[in-house]
């Protein structure tokens, strides 16, 4: 039987006090990134990564509790406050609050239908056609100017936009609005993205999304965030 270290025993005692046993391990990542954990006494027997999340994580769904308890990396992450132990009651409450929040976001997106804007079709050279007098068939129009505009447009898609655009809005806000115009993002995903990135948006960004986004639910959500932020100030 493997020897139990003092550190392991102390952690088990803390877990028994928090959970009632040492077979439940729920943590929250307090860092801004990933916390890698090596298993085994030397951290060399496989491992796992605890990603950043607003919700606590039940580590028992990733690996057996004993694997975490014996890991020096895991104990170090707790002592450094990269991770914190979360009670079962707090975990269940967090899941309930998140489910209610998710339901509100889905309600905002209900009824929104992605529609590709006409300008996306108009910029495609195959959309401009003419009758070939020799074959009487409708064929693509040879239009050098249009081809040049298409080429410039495609290049703009592959190049990163500036961080701040001319009117003060961020490239992040413009990219979200543009994704709704292209219908390249689902309404609920657009709302979730804004919900997640809201701290990074200033009032100019929120006003831009509220005015220019194609999805009514997203516009309403951006308007609400903007209203709440202005009222706090």
Reported as a single tens digit per residue, the pLDDT across 102-126 is: 998 888 888 777 765 544 444 444 3
Residue 85 pairs with which residues in a beta bridge?
27
Residues 81-100: what's their mean pLDDT?
Answer: 90
What pLDDT band is residue 20 in, cutting at 50, 70 and 90?
low
**Domain residue ranges of the chain, discontinuous segments joined by +:** 6-91, 108-232
Q: Is the pLDDT of residue 47 over 70?
A: yes
Looking at residue 126, what is its pLDDT? 39
The model carries a pTM of 0.59
More confident site: 154 or 66: 66
Looking at residue 119, what is its pLDDT? 46
Residues 175-199: what's their mean pLDDT?
Answer: 89
126-179: pLDDT as tens digits? 344 555 556 555 555 555 555 555 566 555 555 555 555 556 778 888 889 988
Q: Across all residues in the chain, what is the average pLDDT?
A: 77
Looking at residue 46, what is its pLDDT? 82
Q: Is the pLDDT of residue 43 over 90?
A: no
CA 30 – CA 182 distance, rounded (Å): 36
């Amino acid at each position: 039987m493997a020897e139990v270290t003092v550190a392991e025993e102390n952690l088990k005692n803390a877990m028994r006090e928090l959970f009632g046993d040492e077979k439940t391990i729920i943590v929250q990542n307090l860092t801004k990134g990933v916390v890698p954990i090596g298993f085994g006494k030397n951290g060399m027997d496989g491992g796992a990564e605890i990603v950043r999340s607003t919700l606590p994580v039940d580590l028992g769904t990733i690996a057996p509790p004993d694997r975490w308890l014996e890991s020096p990396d895991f104990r170090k992450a707790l002592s450094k406050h990269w991770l914190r132990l979360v009670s079962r009651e707090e975990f269940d409450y967090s899941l309930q609050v998140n489910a209610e929040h998710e339901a509100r976001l889905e309600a905002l997106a209900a009824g929104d239908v992605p529609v590709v804007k006409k300008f996306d079709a108009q910029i495609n050279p195959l959309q401009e056609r003419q009758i070939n007098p020799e074959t009487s068939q409708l064929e693509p129009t040879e239009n050098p100017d249009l081809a040049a505009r298409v080429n410039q447009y495609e290049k703009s898609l592959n190049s990163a936009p500036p961080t701040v655009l001319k009117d003060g809005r961020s490239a992040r806000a413009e990219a979200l609005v543009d994704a709704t115009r292209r219908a390249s993002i689902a309404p609920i995903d657009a709302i979730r993205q804004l919900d997640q990135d809201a701290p990074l948006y200033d009032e100019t960004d929120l006003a831009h999304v509220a005015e220019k986004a194609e999805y009514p639910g997203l516009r309403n959500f951006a308007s609400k965030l903007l209203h709440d932020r202005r009222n706090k100030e």
